[in-house]
Chains A and B, each alone.
Chain A
Amino acid sequence: MTNRLHRLLNHSLQGKISSIYILTNLFVCLVNLLLILGINRMSNEMELVYRDNLKLNELTAALDDAQNYMTDYLNAKASDSLEDYYRSSEHYLALVEELGDEVSASAFDRMKRNIRHMSFCYVEFTDQAIEAKRGRNVEKYRIRYESATRMYDYINTYIGSLNSQQFKNNSVNYSELAQAFRLFETVGIGVIAVVIFLNVSIIIKLVGAIISPLKTLAKSADEVAKGNFDIALLEVESQDEIGVVTGAFNQMVVSIRNYIERIRRSMEVERAMKEKEFRMEAHLKDAQLKYLQAQINPHFLFNTLNASAQLAMLEGADRTYRYVQNVAEFFRYNVKNSSANVTVREEIELVDNYIYILNVRFSGDIHYEKYVDDALLQIEMPSMILQPIVENSVNHGIREMAGAGRIWLSVYQRDSCACISIRDNGIGIQQDVAERILNGTYREENTDTGSNGIGMDNVIARLRLFTEREDVMSIQSTGENQGTEIIIFLPFMGQEEADVQNHDCG
């Protein structure tokens, strides 16, 4: 039974609801059928109430027939009448036989019994009268006729009395039956009302039970529609359409959650990248701004320098020409490489120019040596990195050394990095100062020392943004007057490493 019910629960929604309706309708139908059966039976009973009276009426009619035909025959001696008499008396006797011969406490039974016996007696008289008539025994048939007629009266009266008494009794029965019928009608209506009430409540309950997962689903869907994906997953309770939809809904919610998570992550990455780009640009802009502040219209200066160089060449002053040419190159680099990345080679050329200019300015005070691995010259790096560092070395390291100052620039490969080292033999740098420079917490007291204005913190920040790593520079000094070495680490970026290796092989 329970298994069967569970199988029913796994039916389709249509099947379930249909079976509930069929069940309840069947219930109402059965109750109605019972009521109709009852009504039918009651009406049958009511029809039967006067059956006895009808039978007695029939009996009276048959008795009348027999009496009339006998009288007819005695009057006219017609053979038709005789035949009719025999037929009617036979019919009468047949009816009389049904009356029964029992002496019971019921007055009706006793009266029927008496009527029965009297009827036999009556038919005996009539038969004798007919016989006597046929035998032309006038006296006898007259006497028999009288006896028969008297008996006929008695029987008629008896039947009449029985009939009226039965009618009285039956009328009481009938009225009781009619009353019961009416009561039954009321009870029937009551029963149907109760059954309908029960049915309606059962249907409401069962359909409610079937629909309730749908309601839960609707509520969850509403939540999802409002944008709340953090809902508990619904239970799949049955294998019907609601179960299928619930399963699909759960799947959908899970998928949407995953999708949202993915989007969130990619957006975060994009946002980080955008931020990086923005910061890089900001630093560059800062560098440029400072640069522009430091120089009055570099284009004008550059053009002016070019004109000066040409003038020097025309006048045959070769050294002046070379100097002005270098200065022009220096400023041109600044104007040209304002934003894009440059190669290590270009940066080194700028350092060369710068050193040359300084040496002219300070009559060859600075001894500059460079050891460059050619394979690394094509590596990209941010512009305006090396020159500020060299400028630092000159300004802070060897300016006071008056001709003994030396600067070594080396480019070499270590592990997966290209290293650019700028070393001087100047006054050195204290360890805590070096650390503060690297942390970005060091501030120079006097910034207008004639530099181009790009500070170490700017250099370091741009290098970090470019390489996407913190460890981009090291500042080493073995002690006071032992010089300082600044090394820049440029990690290879895939293609560059390959290029370097190719170059090595080539």
Chain B
Amino acid sequence: MKRSETRKNSYTGYLMMTVVLAVITMIACVLIFRFYFSHFTAETDAGRYENYYVMIAENSNDSLWQSIYEGAYEAGIDVNSYVDLLNGSFDNNYSKEDLMRIAIASQVDGIIVAADKSAGMTELIDEAAGEGIPVVTLYGDNTHSRRCTFVGIGSYDLGREYGKEVLEIVQEKQALRVEADGQGETAVSDEPDRVEVAVLVNAHAQDYGQNILCSGIQDTIEKGKKDGMDIRLTLISIDDTNAFFVEESIRDIFMEGAAPDIIVCLNELNTVCVYRAVVDYNRVGQVNILGYYDSETILKAIERNVIYATVSIDTEQMGRYCVDALTEYHTTGNTSQYFMADIKLINRENVEEHMREVAENDK
């Protein structure tokens, strides 16, 4: 009887085992599905934003503009607003005017645009203002329009910084000359050497900022010029109608023979192109470059003594100012007319420190 009981129990055991295995297998199957589909069916829980701002940049690939956009984006997220870089949304390259029209038609809550002085831009800004869309001009202003704020850098101040650097370069050169004379080398001429300073301006952009900047340089040089200094400031127009013309125009300067002693660049692309050209044409030491913006390439060039100095713009601050202005406009209906971002000169002396700071910020 006992054996029979044992066998019955073993029957029961097997049946139970079957049922348990079946249940386990099914649960496992269901779990596998869940696991797979959680990946595909998960709703993208994208946050909803109260305001939608768009930024129309000069050049969306430029690290300066990328950096400004990032600043604006971060600032927007803080106040529950989304800032979109409109340049990146399209497969073809629309002009800033086209992008303005698209932004107006899209009924966005605010436009941040790298404006210029053109009448078309003025008209579009006014149209946007008419539709109740506040427009912030960034980097380049359009003073005649109904834009609510301009966020930029003080061009005159920047010019003065450049002027100071020019004077410093000239003094260094003179000191070298005197030293050479003292060592008994015969002077070629008694007349002081003329120092050619070239400021590369964009031909296409009718940006008054460039002129203000140039006058800043000019004024500084005139005021700080000592006796025996012959400094001639020239403007070299760079054709920027096409993306590749910039590089060609800059190469032309060197090809034509007498390259200027000091070249002042007013944007990142120009700086990089000049830097390459100087290296390629073996003019390192003869041509001093005053660059613009503190991209990694430029900072490395300063370290290597190819670029004399550059200016660092607090791009994050610029972006933040744009969003602040729009937020303020939305809450109070009014905002300050100008926001100026900080600039900082970077040369051989403080480049390492600056690079360290940048690295820390990136972290």
Contact = CB atoms under 8 A, between A and B. Distances in A.
Interface of A: 2, 5-6, 8-9, 23-24, 27, 30-31, 34-35, 37-38, 41-42, 45, 102-107, 109-111, 113-114, 117-118, 121-122, 150-151, 154, 157-158, 160-161, 164, 173, 176-177, 180, 184, 187, 191, 194-195, 198, 202, 205-206, 209-210, 212-213, 235-238
19 contacts: A35-B29, A37-B33, A41-B33, A45-B40, A103-B48, A105-B82, A107-B84, A113-B106, A118-B106, A151-B105, A154-B94, A161-B90, A173-B40, A180-B39, A191-B29, A202-B14, A206-B15, A236-B4, A238-B4
Contacts of A158: 89-90, 102
A364 B30 CA distance: 132
A118 to B, nearest CB: 4
A236 B7 CA distance: 12
B331 interface: no
A7 to B, nearest CB: 11
A121 B106 CA distance: 8
Interface in B101-119: 101-102, 105-108
A198 B20 CA distance: 12
Interface string B15-31: 10110011001101110
B6 to A, nearest CB: 10
Given A113-B106, A191-B28, 14 more contacts: A9-B8, A31-B25, A34-B26, A38-B29, A103-B50, A109-B46, A110-B52, A114-B89, A114-B108, A121-B105, A195-B25, A205-B14, A236-B4, A237-B7
A122 B14 contact: no
B44 interface: yes
B120 interface: no
B8 A184 contact: no
A418 B94 CA distance: 156
A107 B1 CA distance: 76
Contacts of A236: 4
Contacts of A42: 36
B11 interface: yes
Contacts of A31: 25-26, 29
Nearest to A125: B105
B325 to A, nearest CB: 19
B47 interface: yes
A106 B106 contact: no
A237 B22 CA distance: 28
B44 A202 contact: no
B4 A38 contact: no
Interface in B279-321: none
B241 interface: no
Contacts of A237: 3-4, 7-8
Given A31-B25, A31-B26, A34-B30, A209 B7 contact: yes
Nearest to B28: A191
Nearest to A122: B105
Given A45-B40, A110-B82, A157-B92, A27 B102 contact: no
B49 interface: yes
Contacts of B17: 202
B51 interface: yes
B32 interface: yes
B91 interface: yes
A93 to B, nearest CB: 15
A4 to B, nearest CB: 10
A31 B46 CA distance: 37
Contacts of A238: 4
B332 interface: no
Interface centre among B22, B28, B49, B90 (most CB of A within 10 A): B22
B52 A103 contact: yes
Interface residues on B, range: 35 or more
A176 B4 CA distance: 57
A480 to B, nearest CB: 79
Given A118-B102, A121-B105, A158-B102, A5 B25 contact: no
A35 B28 CA distance: 11
B234 interface: no
B348 to A, nearest CB: 42
Nearest to A180: B36
A107 to B, nearest CB: 8
A interface SS class: helix
Interface string B120-163: 00000000000000000000000000000000000000000000
Contacts of A109: 46
B12 A5 contact: yes
Nearest to B53: A103
B244 interface: no
Given A110-B82, A202-B17, A157 B105 contact: no
Contacts of B92: 157
B241 to A, nearest CB: 22
A38 B90 contact: no
Contacts of A164: 91
B10 interface: yes
B49 to A, nearest CB: 4
A278 B72 CA distance: 136
Interface string B64-107: 00000000000000000010100001111010001001100111
A101 B40 CA distance: 24
Contacts of A187: 32
Contacts of B186: none
B107 A117 contact: yes
B198 to A, nearest CB: 40
A114 B88 CA distance: 14
A129 B1 CA distance: 101
Nearest to B47: A105
B40 A177 contact: yes
A154 B98 contact: yes
A157 B91 CA distance: 7
A18 to B, nearest CB: 14
Contact of B22 (A6, A27, A176, A177): A27
A5 B89 contact: no
Contact of B14 (A106, A118, A154, A209): A209
B26 A206 contact: no
A206 B17 CA distance: 11
B14 A117 contact: no
Contacts of B3: 235, 237
Nearest to B8: A9
A30 B28 CA distance: 13
B12 to A, nearest CB: 5
B36 to A, nearest CB: 6
Contacts of B89: 107, 111, 114, 158, 161
A209 B10 contact: yes
A154 B48 contact: no
B41 interface: yes
A210 B4 CA distance: 12
Interface in B172-206: none
B46 A106 contact: yes
B105 A23 contact: no
A45 B50 CA distance: 32
Interface centre among B26, B29, B52, B84 (most CB of A within 10 A): B29
A117 B41 contact: no
Contacts of B108: 114
